[in-house]
Amino acid sequence: MKTAILAAIAAFFYAGAALAQEKPFLAGGNTVTLSATGSSTAVQIQAGSTNANVRVYNAGTVPVFLSCGGSGITAAVASAMPIAPGTVEVLGCAQSYVAGITGGTAATVYLTPGSGL
């Protein structure tokens, strides 16, 4: 019994130490604005794939569905990553473009390329 408790405590502290090693988000480029509507729209967030992540702020009042990719990328409500209104997310996106779409109501999304969480 004591061994199981000690093992659980050790696992808890190990997990906490691993999380503490994650680096905070560090911007690696300029913030760009995506005006999302009921039609897919794409913007270039960086030249090349120099940054592994993108910080996303959905300033709109509706979910925005995002996809990362090259210059021809499009987003679809049925398959893209939903970003809730008023939230900030950091996504893995080592691509040059991000496309976004809404269910019909317009929303403004701010995208900042960088690294970390």
Kindly report, residue by residue over 70-117, the tens digit of the pLDDT.
Answer: 999 999 999 999 999 999 999 999 999 999 999 999 999 999 999 998
Helix (H) or strand (E) holding 4: helix 2-20
Instruction: Record the pTM.
Output: 0.81
| Structural domains of the chain in order of their starting residue, each with its CATH number | 24-115 (2.60.120.10)
In this prediction, residue 31 carries a pLDDT of 98
- pLDDT tens across 23-72, in order? 999 999 999 999 999 999 999 999 988 999 999 999 999 999 999 999 99
Q: Are the beta carbons of 105 and 79 closer than 8 angstroms?
A: no
36 touches 96 (CB < 8 A)? no
The CA distances from residue 9 to 1, 3, 18, 48, in Å, are 13, 10, 14, 44
